Structure 1
């Protein structure tokens, strides 16, 4: 037999063996179609107590895609400042949101989950309302002719707009603020989860390990209003040449501000425990995280001076001066530790939808900078670079699992 015929015979035999093996494999393990997708979006299909009683805990747990949304009402602790009068045990409320999107493989009981949490606030300030030196711009009020007197609020244009009355007040006012507790919080989590076999009484434990990127921004502001009318500005005699242009009727609004940014990069571990009873689902989450906190604070001052042609109602604004200092930056790094505890009770409304309520406690136990640096210009006291922040409160939301 020639080499050519032997080679052709060998190739034919291998092709037949391959086809037989492929046929056997397809008979026992059909090939998966990556585009086959049966969403079954019957989220509102009714469910009965009997349906739930007949389902094992492993079948009631989330499988495939699942999503949750919760509205947060969390109270945040105040910063520790260097003035010796900090009230860090006081809590101020802020509102936020928590979103979670995950996928749990149905056959092997492990998957991934992404969680985003944000808290807008608190926004607690000590505010004093001060009338400005001319206290009213009469040109910013309308006289409709047919009606007696002057009425408002106006819709006409005042140029420049800063010379007009405060919208909604029909007066010229300054709101002088001293911050008590102003902050916002954002957190991004990506976790790998595993689902263990249910315990004897139906509880399910899900360990997790993942990564958290959190940002906590703190805002600190101190403001002051002075004018020649209330005696807080005293014009010397003789008047210095640099002050002659201001005349005898003017006011200043001073603002000293610091913004402190905390960027936390941390690894985390934890678990979620779930237990089903009739239509109710009890769940508890615990996560502890640790990593580095990259801190950056910037501070500046700004002074707005308004010069008038008198100190009574309706006196005109001659001109305004705005002076802003150079922005100062300061950076630091700290080792940070924190934990996140959640507890929830959910009620099964339909086959795929639950409503739930609970609580959440986030404790950034170490490594947080609040209050910014000590101001070299005026009144900011600054804060410790290694503080803690506690955020605790209630949650209410929905859970969806198709």
Structure 2
């Protein structure tokens, strides 16, 4: 046998062995290729009622990549033991808004997949008292020009002496927080699709992890002016700054909750002609690592005279801003809650649907809201509180 023929046989044998090994490996360790779904990107292809009537529920539940977006309008509950609620207002819900994004895929062969979800919702409710400044109008700006304009873009050489932006007079807002909280949630879940029930409903169990971030802001403000009829305040400001003044003091606290939880639940959907009714239920529990810091912030506007009252002709001599060093605290708590959703979608095209729904997220325990009450700087702090969000949603889905 020639060397050339022997070499050819050896190479052929190696290729055959590699092919068999590769096939054997793929049989036991299949690799999910994202492009095996063969998307044709005809998302807006029309679909008719007759087509839907002939499609079984198992086939109407799409496979492959999918994405959803929802605009959220969720009301949030107020913190407990909040002295600034002005009475028994803890049961009130304040309006908030946010977004929900979901991306995932469902394998066509194994009826299993993955889901990533991000939810954010912010609530901001304050008690506001507006105070006019002593020299209530900056008359130099009434003709549309800036006071003490500096090149090159008309920036103020002395910031803080202008009329408030969008107004033709000068004022300061005294704000007390009633319910100011930012909520972010990130989820990664493994999903399965069960066989349809007798009447066409499909159940999709899920198990995963959820990471929450909640930041609560608490502020208690106090405004004092030399024009106040209380002579004690006037004399204190005069002695402190050597002239008539206005002083805004804010005692503030910021608490952050970082919670990592395990969650399980299910998604149930049923197709009714062009409509799709969907319900989600998820329970989560885990640990919450809490941190809080508080400090005091002061701004004083000092005028150029020492005889009360502050009048329109008085000029601002200086602006003094001071801030104390923050006081930090930490804590850990057990975290428990659940998430309920319900949607009704209408199928517009082959892959696009619009939907409206309801969502409720209830964190039963384990939240820190209101800051740290040590020292009495900020009243009402408590690291074992709850938070309820409930409201309505509007959104779009692609291939789900």
SS at match of 1:58: helix
Partner of 2:225: 227
1:375–1:382 contact (8 Å) kept in structure 2 = no
Cα 1:82–1:356 change in 2 (3 A) is closer
Partner of 2:149: none
Partner of 1:77: 77
Partner of 1:112: 114
Question: Which of the two has higher C-alpha Rg?
Answer: 1
Partner of 1:281: 276
2:226–2:238 contact (8 Å) kept in structure 1 = no
Partner of 1:42: 42
Partner of 1:211: 209
Instruction: Give the distance between the partners of 1:219 and 1:275, measured in 2 at CA.
Output: 42
Q: Deviations over 1:200-225 (max 9, x none)?
A: 11110111000000111111111111
Partner of 1:299: 294
Instruction: Give the distance between the partners of 2:188 and 2:294, measured in 1 at CA.
Output: 33
Instruction: Give the distance between the partners of 2:329 and 2:32, measured in 1 at CA.
Output: 56
1:226–1:233 contact (8 Å) kept in structure 2 = no
Cα 1:109–1:139 change in 2 (3 A) is same
Instruction: Give the distance between the partners of 2:144 and 2:337, measured in 1 at CA.
Output: 61
SS at match of 2:13: helix
| CA shift for structure 1 position 18 | 3.8
Q: Is there any run of 5+ residues in structure 1 with no aligned partner, and where? A: 145-154
| CA shift for structure 1 position 156 | 6.0
Partner of 2:128: 127
2:265–2:282 contact (8 Å) kept in structure 1 = yes
Partner of 2:336: 337
RMSD of the alignment, in Å? 3.1
Q: Deviations over 1:184-205 (max 9, x none)?
A: 1110000000111111111101
2:37–2:64 contact (8 Å) kept in structure 1 = no
Instruction: Give the distance between the partners of 2:395 and 2:133, measured in 1 at CA.
Output: 46
Is the counterpart of residue 96 in structure 1 residue 95 in structure 2? no
| CA shift for structure 1 position 169 | 1.7
| CA shift for structure 1 position 163 | 1.0
Q: Which moved more, 1:301-310 or 1:354-363?
A: 301-310
| CA shift for structure 1 position 159 | 2.8
Instruction: Give the distance between the partners of 1:116 and 1:107, measured in 2 at CA.
Output: 27
1:250–1:305 contact (8 Å) kept in structure 2 = yes
| CA shift for structure 1 position 377 | 6.1
1:228–1:248 contact (8 Å) kept in structure 2 = no
2:234–2:244 contact (8 Å) kept in structure 1 = no
1:228–1:234 contact (8 Å) kept in structure 2 = no
Instruction: Give the distance between the partners of 1:316 and 1:391, measured in 2 at CA.
Output: 48
TM-score (norm 2): 0.86
Partner of 2:380: 382
Q: Which moved more, 1:210-219 or 1:308-317?
A: 308-317
Instruction: Give the distance between the partners of 2:240 and 2:107, measured in 1 at CA.
Output: 76
Instruction: Give the distance between the partners of 1:185 and 1:33, measured in 2 at CA.
Output: 34
2:266–2:281 contact (8 Å) kept in structure 1 = yes
Is the counterpart of residue 324 in structure 1 residue 326 in structure 2? no
1:290 to 273, 282, 285: 285
2:227–2:234 contact (8 Å) kept in structure 1 = no
Query: How many residue pairs are counted as aligned between the two chains?
Result: 375
SS at match of 2:65: strand
Partner of 2:51: 51
Instruction: Give the distance between the partners of 2:251 and 2:31, measured in 1 at CA.
Output: 64
2:255–2:368 contact (8 Å) kept in structure 1 = yes
| CA shift for structure 1 position 383 | 2.2
1:197 to 185, 195, 213: 195
| CA shift for structure 1 position 87 | 2.2
TM-score (norm 1): 0.86
Instruction: Give the distance between the partners of 2:18 and 2:67, measured in 1 at CA.
Output: 44
Cα 1:357–1:236 change in 2 (3 A) is closer
Partner of 1:151: none
1:301–1:377 contact (8 Å) kept in structure 2 = no
Structure 1 segments of 4+ aligned residues over 3 angstroms from their partners: 11-14, 16-22, 31-38, 82-86, 155-158, 242-245
